[in-house]
């Protein structure tokens, strides 16, 4: 059964094992890939979750089936439920009954993703910690191995996964078209400058123990921005793991997409105050950004125009200070939708692949 981490003692979280008598047939005992107790490096996977009943089962299946090389062992798969009110906790408990690595931690009060990440830092002592958003899917059984291999030698403090949006094709949904164009831009920019504010993406990231044990995330900053900028400010090595592929679904509506950008503007403004304008404004800037945007617009006019529309709406939201009060209290995510992809290996999909296969480093 799940246990609570209340406001007075968030750092005294207990591990909760599934106790239901009926297990999901998706996970027979001989199908999970557990490693022997001996391994060179221990890894804990952490999945922050709020009302993820439509997504959590698929992601846990992906992680449980992930192939582990001889040098590392996934010892725990934590699901930190942020006071979920749907069937998320029940689903995790059923799966935990079949795989002892899966552990449910419930919070009595909803406090947001940042609070869940801080809680994870307090309960793990693994040499590497991997955070995965609940609405993400692994491209194949090697995705985690390809992500953490960049931290194996102890030189890098942080690695981010090579996230790929499913290509919308001829789908007329403007938000999905805008999200696809956003990925085109991000991919182009990262190929020319690996370290910039366009490198920030907290959906999948791996952190070394000597780095994450020094982190306490403030509620007033975005989790991915704070961790990324802390890494760069401390002179640590950051790796963009292009060959570690994960999938996630684009926003379903223009409002969702523009809201994401509005949050980004808000937290970037906060990061300027926290880390200083020199780091954010100068070191993270991208030379020739507008030229890259315009050339991409010419090549992809329809999805590019949808992106411009969503970007303009988000700027208006930011100027009008919409939802600023919620942002000040910490990042509260919205309910995720399941990502539907065609199965190949563990999970696979017909998407446009990132052609680069080597990690970008700094």
Q: What does the pLDDT average to over 189-208?
A: 87
Among 136, 189, 184, smallest CA distance to 360 is for: 189
pLDDT at 29: 45
pLDDT at 38: 56
153 vs 199, which has greater pLDDT? 153
220 vs 152, which has greater pLDDT? 152
77 contact partners, CB below 8 Å, separation of at least 6: 44, 45, 47, 60, 63, 64, 99, 101, 102, 103
Q: Is the pLDDT of residue 178 over 70?
A: yes
pLDDT band at residue 339 under the 50/70/90 scheme: low
Q: Is the pLDDT of residue 337 over 80?
A: no
pLDDT at 221: 87
Q: Is the pLDDT of residue 21 over 60?
A: no
168 vs 59, which has greater pLDDT? 59
Read off the pTM.
Answer: 0.81
Q: Is the pLDDT of residue 37 over 90?
A: no
The DSSP annotation for 292-324 comes to HHHHHHHHSHHHHHHHHHHHHHHHHHHHTTTTH
Q: Is the pLDDT of residue 354 over 70?
A: no
Q: Is the pLDDT of residue 128 over 90?
A: yes
Q: Which long-range contacts (CB under 8 A, 24 or more apart) does 307-313 make?
A: 307/177, 307/178, 307/181, 307/182, 307/185, 309/174, 309/178, 309/254, 310/174, 310/175, 310/178, 310/254, 310/257, 310/258, 310/261, 311/258, 311/261, 313/254, 313/258
pLDDT tens by residue, 252-283:
888 888 888 888 888 888 888 899 888 887 77
Q: What does the pLDDT average to over 228-251?
A: 90
Q: Is the pLDDT of residue 340 over 70?
A: no
pLDDT band at residue 167 under the 50/70/90 scheme: low
Q: What does the pLDDT average to over 128-147?
A: 95
322 vs 299, which has greater pLDDT? 299
Report CA Rg, the chain: 20
Strongest mean pLDDT among 246-250, 287-291, 344-348: 287-291
Across all residues in the chain, what is the average pLDDT? 81
- Let me know: does 37 contact 124? Beta carbons within 8 Å: no
Question: In order of start, what are the domains of the chain with their CATH numbers?
Answer: 7-361 (3.90.550.10)
**Among 11-25, 73-87, 187-201, which stretch is predicted with the lowest mean pLDDT?**
11-25
The CB-side HSE value for 37 (13 A sphere, CA atoms) comes to 0
pLDDT at 341: 56
pLDDT at 24: 37
Sort residue 148 into left (φ over 0), alpha (ψ -120 to 50) or beta.
Answer: alpha
pLDDT at 34: 54
The beta strand positions in the chain, using DSSP E, are 41-49, 72-81, 102-106, 128-132, 136-138, 156-164, 204-208, 237-248, 360-361
30 contact partners, CB below 8 Å, separation of at least 6: none
pLDDT at 166: 62
pLDDT at 170: 61
Q: Is the pLDDT of residue 2 over 80?
A: no
pLDDT at 359: 44
Q: What percent of the chain has pLDDT over 90?
A: 48
Q: What does the pLDDT average to over 76-96?
A: 97
Among 331, 319, 307, 320, smallest CA distance to 257 is for: 307
pLDDT at 27: 44
Share in percent of the chain as helix, strand, coil (round to 5) = 40, 15, 45
Q: What sign results for the dihedral spanned by CA atoms 172, 176, 177, 180?
A: negative
pLDDT band at residue 319 under the 50/70/90 scheme: confident
Q: Is the pLDDT of residue 19 over 50?
A: no
At which residue do the structure tokens 């599934």 appear?
18
Mark out the alpha helices in 193-288 (DSSP H runs).
Answer: 209-212, 223-233, 254-275, 277
Q: Is the pLDDT of residue 212 over 50?
A: yes
Instruction: Report CA-CA distances (Å) from 356 to 69, 188, 301, 360.
Output: 23, 11, 24, 10
């Amino acid at each position: 059964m799940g246990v609570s981490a209340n406001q007075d003692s968030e750092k005294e979280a207990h591990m909760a094992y599934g106790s239901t008598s009926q297990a999901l047939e998706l996970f027979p005992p001989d199908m999970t890939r557990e490693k022997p107790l001996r391994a060179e490096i221990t890894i804990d996977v952490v999945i922050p979750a709020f009302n993820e009943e439509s997504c959590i089962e698929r992601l846990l299946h992906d992680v449980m089936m992930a192939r582990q090389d001889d040098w590392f062992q996934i010892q725990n798969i934590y699901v930190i439920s942020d006071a979920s009110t749907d069937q998320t906790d029940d689903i995790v408990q059923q799966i935990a009954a079949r795989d002892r690595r899966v552990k449910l931690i419930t919070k009595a009060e909803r406090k947001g993703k940042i609070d869940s990440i801080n809680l994870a830092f307090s309960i793990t002592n693994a040499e590497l910690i991997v955070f995965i958003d609940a609405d993400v899917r692994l491209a194949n059984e090697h995705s985690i191995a390809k992500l953490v291999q960049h931290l194996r030698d102890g030189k890098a403090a942080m690695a981010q996964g090579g996230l790929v949006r499913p290509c919308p094709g001829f789908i007329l949904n403007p938000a999905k078209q805008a999200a696809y164009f956003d990925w085109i831009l991000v991919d182009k920019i990262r190929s020319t400058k690996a370290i910039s504010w366009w490198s920030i993406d907290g959906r999948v990231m791996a952190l070394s123990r000597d780095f994450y044990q020094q982190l306490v995330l403030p509620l007033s900053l975005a989790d991915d921005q704070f961790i990324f900028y802390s890494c760069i400010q401390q002179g640590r090595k950051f790796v963009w793991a292009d060959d570690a592929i994960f999938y996630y679904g684009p926003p379903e509506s223009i409002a969702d997409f523009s809201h994401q950008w509005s949050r980004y503007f808000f937290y970037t403004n906060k990061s300027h105050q926290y880390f200083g304008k020199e780091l954010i404004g100068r070191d993270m800037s991208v030379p020739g950004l507008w030229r890259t945007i315009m050339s991409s617009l010419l090549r992809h006019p329809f999805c590019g125009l949808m992106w411009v529309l969503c970007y303009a709406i988000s700027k208006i939201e930011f100027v009008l200070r919409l939802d600023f009060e919620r942002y000040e209290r910490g990042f509260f995510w919205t309910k995720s939708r399941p990502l539907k992809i065609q199965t190949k290996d563990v999970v696979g999909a017909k998407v446009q692949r990132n052609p680069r296969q080597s990690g970008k480093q700094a």
